[in-house]
Chain A
Amino acid sequence: DVVMTQSPDSLAVSLGERATINCKSSQSVLNISSSKNNLAWYQQEPGQPPKLLIYWASIREFGVPDRFSGSGSGTDFTLTISSLQAEDVALYYCQQYYTTPRTFGQGTKLEIK
């Protein structure tokens, strides 16, 4: 199985500051034939289902604010929130969909400092 490891487990950032969440896969999730990284980021607010933020590692889902961005390739990926807003308090998960099982990271809890 591809193990997805997020860091940190929790993060406290001041409003307006940058938040960075990392995700490392135990093997590459880059599809050579498509040149796409099979990696997504989701946001889960308390009591709600997850919401897609980023797919193919760097494509922002329609309607997601442009302060959210994804980067990385191969085994190392980053979700960046450029200027933290109060409504960004949530759990964030990465997921690889390159192979089965389609594993998630353990989650990163983002709070306001």
Chain B
Amino acid sequence: EVQLVESGGGLVQPGRSLKLSCAASGFNFGEYAMHWVRQAPGKGLEWVSSISWNSGTIDYADSVKGRFTVFRDNAKNSLFLQLNSLRTVDTALYYCAKAGCSFTACYINYWGQGTPVTVSS
């Protein structure tokens, strides 16, 4: 059974940093692209970032480019998102999501439960 368990969310002041983690199990993590998608309270889905199976292709939404960094450790079946220079508009539930392919131009076939990030002074 595919499982994606996010952690690392919390309350943080504007301008500070946070590191999100996603522990994957139930599939060969190193063979699939991964995504981060966020959902602000009461709002729709916003794609944040994606990374291919070998980290060769990495993309970001313009809203987070230069502030967020995605990386993965295939040996540890883990995905990460480093969030720097956080803004109040970054407040959201952050989902770790598995692609159905090794490349990033692919649908998402599994989602974690999400980890909440609240940016507030």
Contacts and interface: CB of A to CB of B under 8 A. Distances in A.
B45 A50 contact: yes
Interface in B64-117: 95, 100, 104-114
Contacts of A51: 111
Interface string A67-98: 00000000000000000000000000101011
A102 B47 contact: yes
B44 A38 contact: no
Interface residues of B, number: 22
Contacts of A104: 44-47
B111 A106 contact: no
Interface of B: 35, 44-47, 50, 59, 61-62, 95, 100, 104-114
Given A40-B107, A55-B100, A101-B62, A49 B112 contact: yes
Contacts of A105: 44
A107 B50 CA distance: 21
A95 B107 contact: yes
Contacts of B44: 93, 104-107
Contact of B113 (A49, A61, A95, A101): A49
B108 A40 contact: yes
Contacts of B111: 49-51
Contacts of A31: 105
